[in-house]
Amino acid sequence: MKPSIFTLTGNLLWEKTLSFDRWSAGHAQRAAHESFQVGGKGINVAKMLTRLRTPATALCFPGGATGTECVAWLRGKKIPFRAFPSSASTRIGVVIRGRRHETTFLGRDTPPDAAALRACARFLAAQPRHSALAICGSFPGWDSPAAAPLRAALDCWLARGGFLAADTYGPPLAWLVQRPLGLVKINRTEFDTLFPARQRRRSVSSRLQQACRRWPVAAWIITDGPGPVWLAEKESPAPVRLIPPAVHEISATGSGDVLLACVLQALFYHRATLAGAVTMALPYAAANAANPGVAEFALNKLPKLRS
């Protein structure tokens, strides 16, 4: 039986992109194009899964007028979601995109309030056994007393046999790796934070072997931008190194989220091995980096893997 897939975004983003043919600091600028999108890693993962026609539901905490716009956008894009309204307004972000570079400006993080977190915990408790959940992105207030019901719900999720994946950092990552997760997918910088500074010069391969021995996580995927992707499994901790396709990068934003979405689809809907799932996912992540936007590239024009 194929599991239901859920993504959890703890830090939703109202995001406007302004594109300029040229611009310089200190002057009024007029954009050539503008667009609106909802950001947040879990939203991106659910968006990509939806494009792959894989059932997925994005869980999020919208608030205020910006949150209302985010909900309308999700409905318009036909991305299945479950909102747990929060009293704090959803944070804002502005992307300034030029011909060669883009810069993202983010507003203050807004932790979900206690009522929203309790509602999310109740929702998770009501889901079928053996469902899959991915915790994605930053999660303000993770260590707070208000988030205790959510943390308890995640422990129950695992105890009931649910699959739990993490693509996060900071306090959530430190808490989650202590649990028997099915998968941790993080970038090299986030992986480094799990080790003391004196150990970070050691190779990713050797530290992956150490991670497999130290923590109860079943599988790891470590990305490094356009560089090699490393993966390892607890039952067979010899790390595997895969090379992504070479592309002309336009915007790397969301490429890791696209990778996670494709890995989840391959694991649960194609019954692929971890190495097979990452191999299937890499061309999609590279195609995302070679195009503007997130999960908006042509699915029939994927770059080829390097041998």
DSSP codes, 125-153: HTSPTT-EEEEES--TTTTSGGGHHHHHH
- Dist CA 233 CA 182 (whole Å): 10
Q: Which amino acid is at 213?
A: R
Band of pLDDT at residue 102, cut at 50, 70 and 90: confident
The answer to whether 150 and 122 are in contact (CB under 8 A) is no
Band of pLDDT at residue 26, cut at 50, 70 and 90: confident
SS3 call for 245:
coil
SS3 call for 166:
strand
Residue closest to 5 by CA, chosen among 47, 36, 67: 47
Q: Which amino acid is at 78?
A: K
Band of pLDDT at residue 307, cut at 50, 70 and 90: low
Does the structure show a pLDDT above 70 at 83? yes
Share of the chain above pLDDT 70, in %: 99
- Would you state the pLDDT for residue 292? 84
- Dist CA 173 CA 175 (whole Å): 5
Q: What does the pLDDT average to over 34-49?
A: 95
Residue 290 corresponds to which tokens in the numbers above? 């070679």
**Ordered structural domains, the chain, with CATH:** 5-12+39-90+110-289 (3.40.1190.20)
C-alpha distances (whole Å) from 252 to each of 84, 153, 290 are 29, 33, 8
